[in-house]
Structure 1
Amino acid sequence: MLIEGLSIRPATLDDAAQIAHIMNVCSLEFSGVPGISSAYLLFIWTRPTYKLAESVRVLVTAEDEIVGWVGLRHQQHIEVDFNMDVLPAYRGRVEQKLLCWARSRANEHITLAPEDMQVVLSTRANAKDSAHRVFLEHEGFQHIRSFWTMKRTLEGQPEQPQWAPSFQLRTFKELIEDPSQDDERISHAIFEAHEEAFADHWGHVPSTFEAWRERALNSRQDLGCFYLAMDGEQVAAYARCAEERGDGWVYTLGVRRAWRRKGLGLALLYHAFGEFYREGIRDIYLGVDAQSLTGATHLYKRAGMHVACEYTIYEQILRPGRDIRTQMLEQA
């Protein structure tokens, strides 16, 4: 039973500010790192393929004040993950209702996944939020992985990137504005570079070009902050960066197998740091698998970053089967 006076309903676009506020309250409480902006939530919710009414529920008072929320997304229907946040005054009393809805919605993906595939429900919890971790474990979730949010505060002009002579730094914006270039070919080349680089990322599920383009190439993204390390016509490595709430974020950084151990990852980081510094942004963040299969954590520490907070990943198997997600590093 819900607490008297509370009810659960589908989210609307008008709820973005309240949900972002709740996310930020929880994030700052346990990690000291800001969460998300309402503008970014709206960007996610208004993607052409996103179905807000089917994917997000809010818990509201009689006055329609939101006190908790839960939202789902999926990867090829085989991994369904959810985020859930509750205001401090209501914690410990309403999470099960939100989880019940998430499980029910996630079960609908089972029939949409290939018959032989494993289907899992996953979520994350801040490592310092012991009460929520106990709740998830009591509900049958298992802790399977840890991820870090890493940070660097720029006290002065960052290091200059060092590029080998054969590489050229470009931005996605430069390429698509070049009349001699084919936009579709460039987009596909970056997608292929991303899939190759992240095939060695734990938990990676192969994506489609259309899904990647909707997520990575959009009107909100400043394509001038989408940096490409080019080896001739080949995309050897890339970094997709953006400003969020006054901070700098390196959302994704990938180096293709054939171009690893050539300093490209570090050079891209230093270049991004320099661009953020030029824009007056001093705090830089990124997320990384704490047990990265490619040793990315060592790269980020070398670049002067430190662990700002830790998240634990929990999973529950909804249907046994073949797991196609990356579990270990396969040598080329």
Structure 2
Amino acid sequence: MTATQTPPTISLRNYSEPDDLAAIAALINHCHIVDQFETTVTTHELKQALEDPDTNPEQDILLAFSPAGELVACGKMWFPPKENETVGGLALHIHPQQRGQNLEMSFLAWAEERTKTVGSARQTQVVKLRSPVRNSQRDRMQFLTANGFIPERYFDRMERSLLDPILPVQLPPGFSIRRVNHQQEAVAWVEMFNQSFIDHWDFHPLTVEEFLRDVNQPDYQPELDLVAVAEDGTLAAFCDCRMNPGDRTEQHTPGWIAVLGTRRGYRRIGLGRAMLLAGLEALKTTGADIALLGVDKQNPSHAFRLYESVGFTIQMTNTVFCKYL
């Protein structure tokens, strides 16, 4: 990064202390209001995100400050474990009044250099940088395109009112639905998850340590974490739902179908549909009045058609942009 890339009145530094979290949350939420995003974040959620092993906070979070000490931009990177390539992810939030003043270039230069550094350490021949953008962010899409990025993947966010009737759950014979015992079944759940998503785009295996860290968070709701069990005790399918207090508005209390999957060998018998309907019922019982989920437009199991069949409609689309370095 060169001195001319950063506006002269702006100072940059890496994340260094938990006191930064409140300012980061305030910046993200302000950007979301201006950009008409529906979600908010809390300092607690940001603190949880810093525990992600894919991110080194002191190296993978860059902050920009005005002369008055106000946080005006934040970039966060993550590097999932991959065997044959290095993929850096970049999420960027810039205060609306600071956009278009070369801060974007400063953060992009930092992200590219950081990704190359990680790629060199991992000794992979393929090194690339990704950045997800909501399709309503036209300026950001144009900026990335002008700097060598191309669209790589598209994801829809879908929604469904929980005030509308939910179809009854119909399980195939021999299966039952219950809560997961996350302490005793951690290994079995992780195996099921990995078998369910091994043929999906950008898959990297979940570890037992990652699973246990997630379910031991204080806001984890075990009543929303459901599994379908075969007669022999095999965990065959799952629906992990979440309710984020920061998503609540005056009009709605949203709930998320966070992860829905069916183990290979148990597909095409109705388990995915049954688990989705069970998840919707669980969210409604817990107090949600609208259900949200994200889906890969090119999902190999044709999940989009399943979601449409139970009443979900597209709310918005995200594009993942990619640049090979």
Task: Indicate the TM-score class for this superposition, using the shorter chain for normalisation.
Answer: 0.7 to 0.9
**Structure-2 change in CA distance of 1:111 and 1:210 (3 Å):** farther
Match of 1:327 in 2: none
Aligned partner of 2:130 among 113, 122, 126: 122
Normalised TM-score (structure 2)? 0.87
Q: Percent identity?
A: 24
More off after superposition, 99-108 vs 199-208: 199-208
Is 1:69 the counterpart of 2:68? The answer is: no
**Structure-2 change in CA distance of 1:38 and 1:308 (3 Å):** farther
Aligned residues of 2:55 and 2:79 also touching (Cα < 8 A): no
Where 1:13 maps in the other structure, the secondary structure is: coil
**Structure-2 change in CA distance of 1:271 and 1:74 (3 Å):** same
CA drift at 1:284: 1.5
CA drift at 1:222: 2.1
Cα-Cα RMSD:
2.2
Match of 1:16 in 2: 21
Where 1:40 maps in the other structure, the secondary structure is: helix
Is 1:273 the counterpart of 2:280? The answer is: yes
Aligned partner of 2:167 among 159, 162, 182: 159
Where 1:108 maps in the other structure, the secondary structure is: helix
> Superposition pairs for residues 191-206 of structure 1, below 5 Å?
191-206=190-205
Where 2:128 maps in the other structure, the secondary structure is: strand
**Structure-2 change in CA distance of 1:75 and 1:217 (3 Å):** farther
CA drift at 1:156: 4.0
> Superposition pairs for residues 116-155 of structure 1, below 5 Å?
117-155=125-163
More off after superposition, 54-63 vs 218-227: 218-227
**Structure-2 change in CA distance of 1:17 and 1:149 (3 Å):** farther
Code of the residue aligned with 1:86 in structure 2: it is I
Is 1:261 the counterpart of 2:265? The answer is: no
Match of 1:292 in 2: 299
Where 1:21 maps in the other structure, the secondary structure is: helix
CA drift at 1:113: 2.6
Distance in 2, Cα, partners of 1:123 & 1:140:
12
Deviation digits for residues 104-126 of structure 1, max 9, x if unmatched?
211121123354x5222111111
CA drift at 1:31: 5.4
Distance in 2, Cα, partners of 1:89 & 1:113:
38
**Structure-2 change in CA distance of 1:128 and 1:38 (3 Å):** same
Aligned residues of 2:132 and 2:320 also touching (Cα < 8 A): yes
More off after superposition, 237-246 vs 158-167: 158-167
Distance in 2, Cα, partners of 1:189 & 1:129:
41
**Structure-2 change in CA distance of 1:81 and 1:273 (3 Å):** same
Deviation digits for residues 157-184 of structure 1, max 9, x if unmatched?
53322222311112124x64xxxxxx2x
Match of 1:106 in 2: 115
Code of the residue aligned with 1:236 in structure 2: it is A
Where 2:41 maps in the other structure, the secondary structure is: coil
CA drift at 1:204: 1.4
**Structure-2 change in CA distance of 1:92 and 1:44 (3 Å):** same
CA drift at 1:28: 4.7
Distance in 1, Cα, partners of 2:136 & 2:55:
31
Distance in 1, Cα, partners of 2:164 & 2:307:
18
Deviation digits for residues 263-292 of structure 1, max 9, x if unmatched?
222221211211221222112111111121
Distance in 2, Cα, partners of 1:113 & 1:208:
20
- Unpaired runs of 5+ in structure 1? 177-182, 319-332
Match of 1:242 in 2: 242
Aligned partner of 2:9 among 5, 10, 27: 5
* Structure 1 runs, 4 residues or longer, greater than 6 Å off: none
Deviation digits for residues 85-110 of structure 1, max 9, x if unmatched?
11211111111111111112111211
Where 1:258 maps in the other structure, the secondary structure is: coil
- Unpaired runs of 5+ in structure 2? 249-253
Is 1:87 the counterpart of 2:89? The answer is: no
Code of the residue aligned with 2:11 in structure 1: it is S
Distance in 2, Cα, partners of 1:32 & 1:111:
36
Between Structure 1 and Structure 2, how many residues are aligned? 308
Aligned residues of 1:239 and 1:254 also touching (Cα < 8 A): yes
Higher relative contact order, chain-length normalized (CA < 8 Å, sep 6+) = 1
